[in-house]
Each structure stands twice: as C-alpha cells, then as structure tokens.
Amino acid sequence: MGDFFSFLSSLLKYIFITIIYLFIFSIIRMIYKDIKKQDRPLKSKKNADSSSHLKLITDKKNLYFDVEDEYPLDKDVIIIGRSANCNISIDDLYMSQEHTQLWHEDNEWFISDMGSTNGTYINGIKMEDEPLILDNGDKIKIGHAEFLVVLV
C-alpha cells in the first residue's frame, strides 16, 4: 500500500460522502416533486366542469406519460409545455419546454405556438406563427395528446 494510495483514499472519502448525500438528496427532491404533482389536480378539480377547460380526448392507455383528464382555463395566460414551471406541465418527449400559449383577452381565448419543435395542430392543421382565436369544440393537438376546447 503506497503513499499514493493513502493520499488518494483520504482525499476521495470526502468526495464519496458528498456524492452519496447528493444522491440521496436528489432522490428525495424527485419524490417531493412527484408528490406535489399528484396533489395539484385534487384542488382544481371542483370547478372544472362548470367553467372553461381543456378536455383530453386521446385514449390515456396509449400515452406513456401522466396527464389529467381535464385542465381548467382559470388564468388569463396559460402556458403548456414540458417544463415544470408551465401552468400545464406534461412530460411528453414530443413536447417542447414551453410549447403553446393560451391567453384570454376581450372575452376571447387566443392560442399561439411558442416556436415549438413539433408544432401545434388545431383541428388537424398545423398552426402558423400568427395567433388564432379558439372556438368552442376546437381540437388542439400538442405532442401525443389531443385536447377538446370547452368554452362556457
């Protein structure tokens, strides 16, 4: 056992401990985010039926990621994307970090694509750069999931 090994080992023991604790911390952080995600829809579920919302129409069995049946349109600006900071966050690999934006103005709901890689489809047609006005019954396809627009 040489001096080199002793030096290396005494140095690495601090690094090992640090990495192991970072490992534990990262797992706990992931679990925490997981729980938070599960808690959120319970609160917003109550008024989903009576107000404007997005309704999932793709069969959930064909989707490999977690997605809710309904997302309420309860804010003036709603961003849909893969990032956890989005109002509607869906972990679909075909979705960009910030994919699509919906906003409410003069009693109309507008939609615009935020420069996503795979685009946003309204009633089967890929939308251009200009924002569009949404009607009741429009279908929005983002990544794998397709939503029905229900406006009240």
**Smallest gap from residue 7 Cβ to another protein (A):** 9
* Residues 101/120, Cβ–Cβ less than 8 Å: no
How long a stretch of residues is the chain? 152
Measured between alpha carbons, how far is 24 from 54 in angstroms, rounded to an integer?
Answer: 37
Can residue 125 be called a binding residue for another protein (CB under 8 A)? no
Can residue 84 be called a binding residue for another protein (CB under 8 A)? no
Continuous H helices in 3-146: 3-44
Can residue 4 be called a binding residue for another protein (CB under 8 A)? yes
Measured between alpha carbons, how far is 17 from 37 in angstroms, rounded to an integer?
Answer: 30
* Residues 151/135, Cβ–Cβ less than 8 Å: yes
- Give the residue with the Cβ less far from another protein, 92 or 113: 92
Per-residue binder mask for another protein (CB under 8 A), 43-72, x = binder: ---------------------x--------
Amino acid symbol at 39: D
User: Given the rule CB under 8 A, which of 16-24, 99-107, 120-128, 130-138 is the region that contacts another protein?
Assistant: 16-24
Amino acid symbol at 108: E
Can residue 28 be called a binding residue for another protein (CB under 8 A)? yes
- Give the residue with the Cβ less far from another protein, 9 or 123: 9
Q: Sign of the C-alpha dihedral, residues 97, 99, 104, 105? A: positive
* Residues 71/88, Cβ–Cβ less than 8 Å: yes
Can residue 32 be called a binding residue for another protein (CB under 8 A)? no
Can residue 77 be called a binding residue for another protein (CB under 8 A)? no
**Smallest gap from residue 9 Cβ to another protein (A):** 4
Q: For binding to another protein (CB under 8 A), which residues are involved? A: 1-2, 4-6, 8-10, 12-17, 19-24, 26-28, 30-31, 64
